[in-house]
Chains A and B, each alone.
Chain A
């Protein structure tokens, strides 16, 4: 089981959280300009990396706030927790 450090509540069991999937998928600024392939990429295509992954989590049974997590999908080790809207650690703004 994962132990996730909520930025507001501290380390809590995984059962208090829900995983919201891949982070840093920006909604298209001009949706009317998108063709079907671009929509498909935005809606459905995912990186699904083996190794370092950035994903969104919500503290559903706690403060109910969203945040980003950097986690390894092989070892499950969490290497960073950082706020929504911020770039991943080491990848400046």
Chain B
């Protein structure tokens, strides 16, 4: 017996109340919450490839909410709370594993920044602890905390509610739940143009013909600049490769997520036993879903210094995703200067953890033609007013 289809494969209708461009986690979540929270079900999600085949399938699945600034803490914590009920809400096991996220401090500045962030998190009602080196070793015994280590560990922040989830299941769960509420999920349908009628959006040109739309939400990650340019809009976004890789599978050895800001690596162990590792972006613009080897080389050097036990592991696969990075490393969620056109992007290297919250507040923004209170600080206008939310280096990991 074959498994049943989880969602329909409909032909695009001539017109929809809302069209979401991009069938990754954020776009699918947006469609789901449009239907569930706002009763807007005449919705299509247009995906040029297959659902969840872009950055949703290419990230390292870390979930946490220990951001420094109030605006970020609010939206990421809202998202984490949605994660905690997501499997039940979607009736689909997203395999959320709240195994704890450690953020290491290697020098005095790291230590001060980390302790400040713990206090800021607690003031925002987010669980956060400071662990001294002995406590770090107790929590993660394989970490090298020797005084003579290349990267000495002076302590770490711990968010116990942080962890990982199954990235594919998140896309599939949202897709199935949105489909069940009437949303059309249309794959192999590339958007090639945005049609305007004066100052208002009229619909989208696609590889499968013109589709009329009352509202259009762009959730295209690395391609957001390309989509916005179709409406003549410039964005403060640049697209970069972000690489990740996995080792051969081994027996359970690492039962938490470990991140290091200063040497820039993050690692966890998947349920299959592979170590999943990521680093920072490649420095140049790219749409190529691949990066340069020296980035991986530097990342592996840091991993082996932190975890000497991993030194003989072979790496099985590496890949790259195209992330859309804002100057302040915070997302843009809101209205664009064309009526009925909205953007949810600029999540850069950290979008996976935000998937539920991002979809929720973006659906609200589209449905009400006004930003959700949690999304309001993340408007495009902040680059004009100067009210940036500078999470570069403040967000517990450098970008």
- Residues of chain A touching chain B, judged by Cβ–Cβ distance below 8 Å, are 1-2, 13-15, 18-19, 21-22, 36-37, 39-41, 43-50, 53, 55, 71, 73-76
Contact = CB atoms under 8 A, between A and B. Distances in A.
B199 interface: no
A84 to B, nearest CB: 17
B237 interface: yes
A1 B294 contact: yes
Given A14-B294, A37-B384, A76 B236 contact: no
Contacts of B223: 50
Contacts of B286: 73-74, 76
Interface of B: 223, 225-226, 234-239, 283-288, 292-294, 327, 383-386
A41 B234 contact: yes
Nearest to B283: A19
Contact of A74 (B237, B283, B287, B384): B287
22 contacts: A1-B294, A2-B284, A2-B292, A18-B283, A21-B238, A22-B238, A36-B386, A37-B384, A40-B383, A43-B383, A44-B236, A45-B234, A46-B237, A48-B225, A48-B235, A49-B225, A50-B287, A55-B285, A73-B239, A73-B286, A73-B287, A74-B287
A1 B293 CA distance: 6
Nearest to A69: B284
A73 B222 CA distance: 12
A48 B235 CA distance: 9
Contacts of A46: 225, 234-238
A73 B237 CA distance: 14
Nearest to B297: A15
Contacts of A45: 234-236, 383
Contacts of A19: 283-285
A36 B384 contact: yes
B198 to A, nearest CB: 21
A16 B372 CA distance: 45
Contacts of B292: 1-2, 14
A18 B239 CA distance: 16
Interface centre among B225, B226, B285 (most CB of A within 10 A): B285
B192 to A, nearest CB: 13
B149 to A, nearest CB: 25
Contacts of B226: 48, 50
A48 B223 CA distance: 9
Nearest to A18: B283
A18 B292 CA distance: 13
B258 to A, nearest CB: 26
Contacts of A48: 225-226, 235, 237-239, 285
Counting from the closest, the 5 A-B pairs by CB-CB distance are A44-B236, A48-B225, A45-B234, A40-B384, A19-B284
A75 B283 contact: no
B388 to A, nearest CB: 9
A13 B235 CA distance: 31
A87 B284 CA distance: 21
A53 B287 CA distance: 11
B223 to A, nearest CB: 7
Given A14-B294, A39-B384, A46-B235, 10 more contacts: A19-B283, A19-B284, A22-B238, A22-B285, A36-B386, A40-B236, A45-B383, A50-B225, A74-B288, A76-B286
A9 B142 CA distance: 45
Nearest to B286: A73
Contacts of A21: 238, 285
Contacts of B384: 36-37, 39-40
B60 to A, nearest CB: 22
A76 B285 CA distance: 9
B62 to A, nearest CB: 26
A44 B239 contact: no
A23 to B, nearest CB: 11
Nearest to B298: A15
Interface centre among B225, B237, B239, B284 (most CB of A within 10 A): B284
Nearest to A2: B292
Contacts of B236: 40, 44-46
A73 B283 contact: no
Interface centre among A13, A44, A45, A55 (most CB of B within 10 A): A44
Contacts of A39: 384
A73 B285 contact: yes
Contacts of B288: 73-76
A30 B236 CA distance: 22
